[in-house]
Amino acid sequence: MATSTRLNGQIRAPEVRVIDADGKQLGVMSSREAYQLAQDQELDLVEISPNAKPPVCKIVDWGKYNYQKTKQAQKNRKASKALDMKQMRFGLKIGDHDLAVKMKKVTGFLEAGHKVKITLFFRGRELAHKDIGFKLAERVIADFGDSIVVDQAPQLNGKQLSFVIRASASKVAKIAAEADAEPEIPSSN
């Protein structure tokens, strides 16, 4: 980011539109005049929008500006990462223990705030018994109870039956409250 943003003497445009540190527009002036104005305030002239006609520059503290932009980019990446959808696949003949293990993994995804797409896949002649697949889907939904919300109802797409779930708002609030609560430390008397 620091390499792509021009500042101070690196600004090549003969005229620039200048914004001061408070966000007020100072108007269009020569880049040398704007640079001198920034030096008088002991700040930097940073090119904000190089593609505008004339380019937009802001008089700011470069270190502070760069830090804020980096933090904002990290926050945006973190927010987009939280929206990932996880997927869990079940076979139609899954055993009870295997189902319990996969349900535990799905619970972990839901507690982390992810949506989960659950896919039941049919092999060979299993496709003739779609009702078994729908019953398994309803069983999975029933096992979670009111701790989830079904975003996409179970539907058959080719040889797969899939549906999307997410944690309900009350469940998310409960998890957040547990995370905020401080663990009690037993006193040693």
Q: How confident is the model at residue 82 (pLDDT cuts 50, 70, 90)?
A: low
CA 46 to chain centre: 29
Structure-token pair, residue 90: 């079940």
Domain covering 84-180 in this structure, CATH number? 3.30.110.10
| pLDDT (0 to 100) of residue 89 | 93
Where do you find CATH 3.30.110.10 in the chain? 84-180
For 4-13, how does the pLDDT look when each residue is reduced to its tens digit (9 = 90+)? 778 887 888 8
DSSP 3-state assignment of 109? helix
Where do you find CATH 3.10.20.80 in the chain? 8-77
Comparison of pLDDT for 98 and 78, the residue scoring more: 98
Q: How confident is the model at residue 81 (pLDDT cuts 50, 70, 90)?
A: low
Angle at 163 between CA 160 and CA 166, to 5 degrees: 150
What's the sign of the alpha-carbon dihedral 135, 139, 140, 145? positive
- 147 and 116 Cβ atoms separated by less than 8 Å: no
Quickly name the fold that domain 8-77 has: Ubiquitin-like (UB roll) (3.10.20)
For 124-158, how does the pLDDT look when each residue is reduced to its tens digit (9 = 90+)? 888 888 999 999 999 999 988 888 889 889 999 98
Angle between helices 96-111 and 130-144 (to 10 degrees): 50
